Structure 1
Amino acid sequence: MSIIRKHVGRRMSEIVIHGDTVYLAGQVGETGKTVEEQTAEALALVDKLLIEAGSSRQHILQVIIWLKDIADFDGMNRVYDAWVPEGHTPARATSEAKLADPSLLVEVIVTAALAK
């Protein structure tokens, strides 16, 4: 079975497609913004990459969310809850973590099925 990689960099690819599954690298928003703004920007990037890969929000299987501070859970969820399609909620986990850049507040990792 082939593996398709898009936006390939030295360390990672933004999109990896294997079989009928799409894996996205962690997506973040612009630094210096609120958790709500960073979440909205990260989710907009997720949308863009899913469309490029041949998928959509309705085909998301799993979301992993890392927050710099778990106290931002409610703020992140306000944006996430408005974004995720009703009736198509994926499996999800959220945890507090040190992110690669201290000014990042949230990172979103998505696995989805290809739309057929």
Structure 2
Amino acid sequence: MVTAEDSNGAKQLTIAVEFSGGLEMLFSDQRRHSLALPAVDKDGRASNIGFLIDHLCQHVMRDTRRELFVLGGHLRPGILVLINDADWELEGEEEYELRPGDNVLFVSTLHGG
């Protein structure tokens, strides 16, 4: 799969993002999203998971309780991330450079009681 271009000619990549374990409630109760993202961030570097997390908070999340997803600019502890079915810890965590067709799954492992 190759990257596409937006109306301004900027390279875009399309990925799938999924939420589970209650996180979907922060994203309009929608479990699966297909996103077209800029292939490079504002600094000219390849878009990575850190960029994706910020993009999700800025453009996809409609819930005001961002602290349930991010704390201190990083993903909240207790959220498992799988990139193409592999634990993100094996892929470089936030530094993993996104590729067209990637599937990123965020799963909350925290449950109230």
TM superposition score normalised by structure 1? 0.33
Greater share of helix: 1
